[in-house]
Chains A and B, each alone.
Chain A
Amino acid sequence: MQILDRPHFPPAKTRTHEVYGPGAQVFAFVLAARLGGPCLWVRGGWDAAQINPNGFAPFIDPADFALCNTKDQMQSLAVAEEALRDGAVPLVVMALHKPLGLTEGRRLQLAARDGKSTGLALISEGMGSNAAETRWHCAPVFDPEYGGEDSTLHRWELKKNKSGTLGVWYVRWDRASRRVVVVPPAGK
């Protein structure tokens, strides 16, 4: 059993990263668990899907989680920038639905650098900005052999990395150690 660790995970602190794919939220919670401390989740107030505290309690204590409902993407970005610059929370997650321009991406990087906290943008495919430090694609994978029932096998692919190599990992959340562990791909 191998724990997914540096230099790839957690991605560089004091930077903003991007993640997309159906498993993006899980990536965000794994990162929150890894960084520890409070987590601020910024999303559009119209989002009908409810984040379930009973569902993410294995990752982080719901007392450490705060949710900001914003009016539009501009507001989401403003709130995220303010929180990143302040540095009171180690991780700011922002759920975005529109393409992120280079200017906005760069401002988020500068804010993260000033506040020494990590930003994570949940984006749709192909809507990232060139300023992102890393970009990940996360998707759940079916594992016909695994009998455990408390976590899904995920395929995390590092699609873009400004300062390092790319890679693909098959990971699974380990409840006991509160870490993601790297496992061989399904069916091999």
Chain B
Amino acid sequence: MFDGIGRRVVSLWFPRLASDRVLRRCPLDGPFALTQKISNTDRLYCLNTQALRQGLHAGMPFSDARAFCPDLQTAPVDLPQDDRFLHLLRRWATRYCPWVGLEGRDGLVLDVTGATHLFGGEDRMLTDMRMRLMRAGLSVQIGMADTRGAAWALAHFGEGVAPAGDPLPVLQTLPVAALRLGDKTTTALERLGLRKIGDLASTARAPLARRFGPDVLMRLDQALGQQPEDVTPLADPPHFGIRMTLPEPIGLIGDVMAGVSRLLDQLCAKLQTHEMGARVLVVTVRRVDQDSQDVELRLARALHDPQRILPLFERGLAEVDAGFGIDQLRLHATQVEPLRAQQITHASTTQNGSAGQLEDLVTRIGARIGLENIQRFLPADSHIPERSFLIAPVAYSEATRGAPWACTQPRPLTLFQPEAIAAHGPQPPKRFRWRRMSLTTGRATGPERIAPEWWLPDDNWRTGLRDYWRVETTQGRRLWLFYTPQNPGWFVQGEFA
């Protein structure tokens, strides 16, 4: 590629990443280990140095470890959190070079070609890394070589730097396990007497390939630089935030809106290229006296349309106290979700015209009373009257049009908690008092028997079966009464339209 610069790769290995992460949060003194449940047994997963010094090792059953070391302190392992932490470290490592990839569950690989002189040479760069990681409370082993394989070998076995050029002189004393081979292959090679990488390199290649397949030689060639191996950097997730610094402070609502409008155009263009829609937007307004205020906008559905979002900001921005003037605006989409581009047809535009207006209205009302307080009904599959529908926030659910709402029997318009009335016998009472009104039964239709759903325990249905009656009172009201034959009593539960 370039004659002047040879490739240099750094491999970082965090041998105690998981336990170091937990101990960074709450430092402990004494032996500490993380446990993992594997096939119904708790085993040690990651230990600190004091625990290792006590003779414990990873993979050991937890009960044995406690017998060996009674003052062992443990915590369960959280693998997703460890993974997130490694990604954070990867992001941090881009301070040394832009080309940083992950190496397994507990390592990083950096292609530092042409970046070392920025830190005053290789040694000073590695010292800097070690210092910073040590200050962060992480134990690390660092290897540096011309190839990824050699750097990995040095990081895991005997930490060091292979000088530019052929890495074989440094590698040849390392065990064959340093070639990233499987346990089985390593054992087989050791049985043949090939214990060091040097032994392997000096053996005839053809019998090795026949005996172990192409894998062993590929790893050897990768370590020695005879076969290429790339470092794959992870793509940074797109950042949906934009800011604008103003040369002169502004204070009028119109000016601030114009500024937000410019930011919104750029942000929405970015959202559209990623096929994302913003759900929560925050405008941070910084004043000249360094005070800053946040204006949050929660949208009723994901949007990436600047013309629709901008008017929704009016109410929030009007409440901002501009003080001596505003000199920086920052717009950040704190919550985004995928929003695919849709083909525009005549039908969809006419339909979306009113639907879009309704969603904007929901957003504006939601800014006032909270989005979760605007609800809609969804059908549910149950005979129990109060469970035959679901209540869901409008912003986070889709309306089900043409749903099977029609019941075979008429249902009341309003439902309330059953209110007991004084009556007895399975026939509806002739007269009863309800809510301080004395009512007379004019006509009663029923009964309709509804049985409780035994698979869902419900305190209201403890009384067992219910016989529902539609009772038309001579006073006019049509009520929904029920009688509980297993636990005699009469209740009013609803009123018909």
Question: A54 with B389: in contact, given A68-B373, A70-B373, A141-B476 (CB under 8 Å)?
Answer: yes
User: Which residues on A sit within 8 Å (CB–CB) of B399?
Assistant: 63-64
- Cβ of B290 within 8 Å of any chain A Cβ, yes or no, is no
The answer to whether B445 and A65 touch across the interface, beta carbons within 8 angstroms, is no
The SS class assigned to the B binding surface is: mixed
Q: Once bound together, how far apart are the Cα atoms of A149 and B442, in whole Å?
A: 13
User: Which residues on B sit within 8 Å (CB–CB) of A61?
Assistant: 401-402, 405
User: Which residues on A sit within 8 Å (CB–CB) of B413?
Assistant: 25-26, 29, 51-52, 55-56
Closest residue of chain A to B474 (Cβ to Cβ) is A142
Closest residue of chain B to A86 (Cβ to Cβ) is B361
Please provide the chain A residues from 1 to 57 with a CB less than 8 Å away from any CB of chain B in the complex.
22, 25-26, 29, 37-38, 45, 48-57
Closest residue of chain B to A54 (Cβ to Cβ) is B411
The answer to whether B373 and A50 touch across the interface, beta carbons within 8 angstroms, is no
The answer to whether B415 and A49 touch across the interface, beta carbons within 8 angstroms, is yes
The answer to whether B374 and A22 touch across the interface, beta carbons within 8 angstroms, is no
- Cβ of B477 within 8 Å of any chain A Cβ, yes or no, is yes
- Cβ of B376 within 8 Å of any chain A Cβ, yes or no, is yes
The answer to whether A45 and B373 touch across the interface, beta carbons within 8 angstroms, is yes
The answer to whether B403 and A144 touch across the interface, beta carbons within 8 angstroms, is no
The answer to whether A50 and B405 touch across the interface, beta carbons within 8 angstroms, is no
Q: Once bound together, how far apart are the Cα atoms of A83 and B369, in whole Å?
A: 13
Closest residue of chain B to A67 (Cβ to Cβ) is B375
Closest residue of chain A to B398 (Cβ to Cβ) is A63
The SS class assigned to the A binding surface is: mixed
The answer to whether A83 and B416 touch across the interface, beta carbons within 8 angstroms, is no
Q: Once bound together, how far apart are the Cα atoms of A66 and B392, in whole Å?
A: 10
Q: Once bound together, how far apart are the Cα atoms of A86 and B377, in whole Å?
A: 23
Question: A22 with B405: in contact, given A142-B472, A151-B497 (CB under 8 Å)?
Answer: no
Min CB–CB distance B177 → chain A (angstroms): 64
User: Which residues on A sit within 8 Å (CB–CB) of B410?
Assistant: 149-150
- Cβ of B197 within 8 Å of any chain A Cβ, yes or no, is no
Instruction: Tell me which of B354, B361, B415, B476 contacts A140 (CB under 8 A).
Output: B476
User: Which residues on B sit within 8 Å (CB–CB) of A89?
Assistant: 358, 361
Closest residue of chain B to A79 (Cβ to Cβ) is B365
Please provide the chain B residues from 358 to 414 with a CB less than 8 Å away from any CB of chain A in the complex.
358, 360-362, 364-365, 368-369, 373-377, 379, 385-386, 388-389, 391, 394, 399-403, 405-407, 410-414
The answer to whether A68 and B496 touch across the interface, beta carbons within 8 angstroms, is no
- Cβ of B8 within 8 Å of any chain A Cβ, yes or no, is no
- Cβ of A82 within 8 Å of any chain B Cβ, yes or no, is yes
Chain A window 72-109, contacts with chain B (Cβ cutoff 8 Å), 1 for yes, 0 for no: 00010011001100111100000000000000000000
The answer to whether A52 and B415 touch across the interface, beta carbons within 8 angstroms, is yes
Q: Once bound together, how far apart are the Cα atoms of A47 and B375, in whole Å?
A: 14
User: Which residues on B sit within 8 Å (CB–CB) of A87?
Assistant: 357
Closest residue of chain B to A27 (Cβ to Cβ) is B497
Instruction: Tell me which of B415, B472, B474 contacts A50 (CB under 8 A).
Output: B415
Name the interface size band of chain A: 35 or more
User: Which residues on B sit within 8 Å (CB–CB) of A65?
Assistant: 376-377
The answer to whether B389 and A75 touch across the interface, beta carbons within 8 angstroms, is no
Min CB–CB distance B113 → chain A (angstroms): 59
- Cβ of B487 within 8 Å of any chain A Cβ, yes or no, is no
The answer to whether B361 and A173 touch across the interface, beta carbons within 8 angstroms, is no
- Cβ of A124 within 8 Å of any chain B Cβ, yes or no, is no
- Cβ of B466 within 8 Å of any chain A Cβ, yes or no, is no
Name the interface size band of chain B: 35 or more
User: Which residues on A sit within 8 Å (CB–CB) of B364?
Assistant: 82, 86
Closest residue of chain A to B389 (Cβ to Cβ) is A53
The answer to whether A142 and B442 touch across the interface, beta carbons within 8 angstroms, is yes
Min CB–CB distance B116 → chain A (angstroms): 62
Which of B365, B399, B407, B494 has the most chain A CB atoms closer than 10 A to its own CB?
A: B365
The answer to whether B476 and A66 touch across the interface, beta carbons within 8 angstroms, is no
Instruction: Tell me which of B374, B388, B407, B477 contacts A66 (CB under 8 A).
Output: B374
- Cβ of A129 within 8 Å of any chain B Cβ, yes or no, is no
The answer to whether A53 and B362 touch across the interface, beta carbons within 8 angstroms, is no
Closest residue of chain A to B386 (Cβ to Cβ) is A50
Closest residue of chain A to B441 (Cβ to Cβ) is A142
Q: Once bound together, how far apart are the Cα atoms of A159 and B389, in whole Å?
A: 36
Q: Once bound together, how far apart are the Cα atoms of A142 and B389, in whole Å?
A: 30
- Cβ of B463 within 8 Å of any chain A Cβ, yes or no, is no
Instruction: Tell me which of A54, A57, A69 contacts B369 (CB under 8 A).
Output: A69
User: Which residues on A sit within 8 Å (CB–CB) of B414?
Assistant: 25, 49-52, 55
Question: A55 with B442: in contact, given A67-B375, A69-B373 (CB under 8 Å)?
Answer: no
Min CB–CB distance B446 → chain A (angstroms): 10
The answer to whether B369 and A52 touch across the interface, beta carbons within 8 angstroms, is no
Please provide the chain B residues from 447 to 497 with a CB less than 8 Å away from any CB of chain A in the complex.
470, 472-478, 494, 496-497
- Cβ of B417 within 8 Å of any chain A Cβ, yes or no, is yes
Question: A66 with B373: in contact, given A48-B417, A75-B368 (CB under 8 Å)?
Answer: no
User: Which residues on B sit within 8 Å (CB–CB) of A63?
Assistant: 376, 399-401, 403
User: Which residues on A sit within 8 Å (CB–CB) of B368?
Assistant: 75, 78-79, 82
Instruction: Tell me which of A49, A54, A67 contacts B385 (CB under 8 A).
Output: A54
B residues engaging A (CB < 8 A)? 354, 357-358, 360-362, 364-365, 368-369, 373-377, 379, 385-386, 388-389, 391, 394, 399-403, 405-407, 410-417, 442-443, 445, 470, 472-478, 494, 496-497
Q: A66-B362, A68-B374, A149-B410 are in contact. List 11 more A-B contacts (CB 8 A).
A: A22-B476, A45-B373, A50-B414, A62-B405, A65-B377, A69-B374, A86-B364, A140-B478, A144-B442, A152-B476, A173-B497
A residues engaging B (CB < 8 A)? 22, 25-26, 29, 37-38, 45, 48-59, 61-71, 75, 78-79, 82-83, 86-89, 139-142, 144, 149-152, 173
Q: Which 4 A-B pairs have the closest CB atoms?
A: A140-B476, A57-B405, A55-B413, A63-B399
Q: List 27 A-B contacts (CB under 8 A).
A: A26-B497, A29-B413, A29-B497, A49-B416, A50-B414, A52-B389, A52-B415, A53-B377, A54-B388, A55-B414, A55-B494, A55-B496, A62-B389, A63-B403, A67-B375, A67-B377, A68-B373, A79-B365, A88-B358, A89-B358, A140-B476, A142-B442, A149-B445, A149-B470, A150-B410, A151-B497, A152-B478
